[in-house]
Amino acid sequence: MESVASAPGKTILFGEHSVVYSEPAIAGAVNKRATVKIRRSRNQNTILKSKDLNFEAILDTRKESYSLKHGKPGIIRYILNALSKFHDHTPIEILLSINIPIGSGLGSSAAVTVATLAALFDYHDIPFTKESLAQDAYNVELDVQGMASPLDTIVSTYGGLIYLSREKKPISFTNHINSNFVIGFTTKYGNTGKMVKNVKNLKDAYPNIINPIIEDMGFIANEARIAILKNDISKVGELMNINQGLLDSLGVNTSELSRMIYLARKNGALGSKITGSGGGGSIIALCPHNPDKVMKAINRYDNTLKIKFSKDGVLTKDSI
């Protein structure tokens, strides 16, 4: 018996970091996914394999530890934490395939967590709803990272383009922004846990300066929601650029991200900003006119993806 589930990565249009402090945010599921297959192990070990990430590990689900035959460990911590909460320690084989760049602000950790949990619940016949799955996945990210908002795991679970309210209620946009978006990503990974902690340290040190900045990010997200509903693309772009200025003040920008942000604008993007935790990873650029010109400019130094928002959230064996 094999269980399988997949979940999308995401890109944040507005509100990264401020959403950790319950400000509203806007993010969308993208057409890049993580897929997890779980089946009974052929021996006494629980094995995790990923050809895409070039790793193979033997997991000790009781001690939440692993021995890595080869590859990098980071994403394993999310899978191990999910297993520690819901697995019965019987030996299983976990196969992870993923076409989301990791550590690139595109929600790879959330997609892997949501897909792992959905496959595990199917394997153990544990009933779940999208609401309960998103909450369980959020708890995993919280455990692994120390701090997190439910934004990434909600978007990976529900799919589509979502406005997350101050009350953490996901509200799906019925209309999509009919424009091209380009993702620029560096080879320098970000690490969400580390970046979120850095922002907290700055906030603790300068509350009278940082708190208003975080609140302004919330106002931007609300203005952007209205602009998206009106399909006012130029206003969406302008608000992205203002949001970027505030992210810069939180210290999550890097020279590589800045280079992509300004190359995008110079080559016709209406707006461009960091997407995700920053400190490496990705930018997103709104390019209604000439996305190829923006991609060509960024590709001189970094990498690009032309993304489409995807209505598909988590998919299980009946719907994959």
Ligand X SMILES: Nc1ncnc2c1ncn2[C@@H]1O[C@H](COP(=O)(O)OP(=O)(O)OP(=O)(O)O)[C@@H](O)[C@H]1O
Residues that bind ligand MEV (CB under 6 A): 12, 16-17, 19-20, 107, 148-149, 151-152, 192, 196, 276-277
Q: Which of 18, 61, 109, 304 touches ligand X by CB under 6 A?
A: 109
Q: Which residue(s) pair with 38 in the sheet?
A: 3, 94
Select from 87-95, 183-191, 249-257, 307-315 the region that touches ligand X (CB under 6 A). Answer: 183-191
Half-sphere exposure of 254 (CA within 13 A, CB side): 17
Q: Name the active-site residue from 88, 136, 143, 152.
A: 152
35 contacts which partner out of Mg ion, ligand X, ligand MEV, none, CB within 5 to 8 A by kind? none
Element (H or E) spanning 184, and its range? strand 181-185
Give the residue at shortest CB distance from Mg ion: 109
Whether 52 is a known active-site residue: answer no
Burial class (CB in 10 A: 0-12, 13-18, 19+), 318: exposed
Any contact of residue 222 with Mg ion (CB under 5 A)?
A: no
Binding mask 35-64 for ligand X (x = CB under 6 A): ------------------x-----------
Closest separation between CB of residue 290 and Mg ion, Å? 31
User: What pairs with residue 40 in β-bridges?
Assistant: 92
Q: Which two tokens stand for residue 314?
A: 């988590």
84 binds ligand X (CB under 6 A): no
- The strands making up 271-275's β-sheet, listed across from edge to edge, are 271-275, 282-286, 181-185, 303-307
How far, in Å, CA of 316 to CA of 2, rounded?
11
Per CB under 5 A, the list member of 11, 109, 186, 272 interacting with Mg ion is 109
Provide the greatest CA pair distance for the chain: 58
148 binds, among ligand MEV, ligand X, Mg ion, none (CB under 5 to 8 A by kind): ligand MEV
Piece in contact with ligand X (CB under 6 A), picked from 101-109, 123-131, 171-179, 292-300: 101-109
In eight-state DSSP terms, residue 101 is P
Which partner in ligand X, Mg ion, ligand MEV, none is near 74 (CB below 5 to 8 A by kind)? ligand X
Strands 92-98 and 46-50: parallel
Copy the structure tokens of residue 69: 């035959």
Window of 68-76, 115-123, 223-231, 286-294 that interacts with ligand X by CB under 6 A: 68-76
Helix (H, G, I), strand (E, B) or coil at 61: coil
Q: Find which of Mg ion, ligand MEV, ligand X, none residue 103 binds, CB within 5 to 8 Å per kind.
A: ligand X
Write phi, then psi, for 126 (nearest 5 degrees): -95, 120
Task: List active site positions.
Answer: 152
**Interaction site with ligand X (CB under 6 A):** 53, 71-72, 74-75, 102-110, 152, 189-192, 276-277, 281
